[in-house]
Amino acid sequence: MRFRTIVSNSNLLLRVVQSIDKLAKGAILKLTPEKLHIIVLTDIDSGLQLWSDVAVDALFQDYRIESIHNNEIYLEFSIDNLMRALKSAQGALRTTLKLTKKQVHIMMPPLNSVRSIAERMKTMGDRVAISANREGEMTIRVTNELGLENLSYDASQEPSASTTPGRAPGDHFTAVVDMKNFLRFLQSYHVAPKNIVCCIIEQHAVVFYVYIGTTGYGVGALNDQNCGSLTYFVPVRQV
């Protein structure tokens, strides 16, 4: 996953962010080759939602984006932090945006095998630590309020990993998420996913890209046509 660009119209981007400042503390940023999307989902009581898009050419120049998910990138950001950064950039000769968080992509094993383990895990703790490295090793373990590991699931025989630059291939990237959110993601087995890519962004989130197929996992899935996709953005569990 790579993203880098020069902000050519920071004033317009600032005005867009200012317009959503009072709606929520955070928002979701969706970057595509053609457009920048900002999505704001407020609390359940309010029910207010905002979906916006701005053409890339209106904001940026030398725009470079690359990901295994159709060259689309999803990020969660603090509206206040972005607004302060854009205000400080007013009048600057050059403002560059780029991804700096360390992350790794890895193919997940079939969800049925993960679900059976998760059902046992949910009675043992309320957090799930998901770890992976660029050698194709993946581990899912459960922790409780005391931080104790209760049960581990080693998926290293199943997935393959990306070759993104960063630390040594054997170093693990880890994110701890809420057990309830992890179980909600596992409900995606209903769409008979062709493949699932897990993106671990340390100290930030885990993003699951679920590619919908007609035959599911297995030999038939290799030649199965991709019908669509589901994207789950699961934020890390704050201690």
Q: What angle do CA 164, 217, 129 make, to 5 degrees?
A: 50
* pLDDT digits 0-9 by tens, 119-141: 888 888 888 999 888 777 888 88
Element (H, E) at 41: strand 35-41
Q: What is the pLDDT of residue 7?
A: 93
Among residues of the chain, what percentage have pLDDT more than 90?
21
Q: What is the pLDDT of residue 101?
A: 62
Q: What is the pLDDT of residue 183?
A: 93
Domains detected in the chain? 2-98 (3.70.10.10), 103-235 (3.70.10.10)
CB atoms within 10 A of CB 104: 26
- Whole-model pTM: value is 0.63
List all residues 6 or more positions away from 107 whose beta carbon is below 8 Å from its beta carbon.
158, 159, 160, 161, 195, 196, 197, 198
Instruction: Judge whether residue 1 has pLDDT over 80.
Output: no
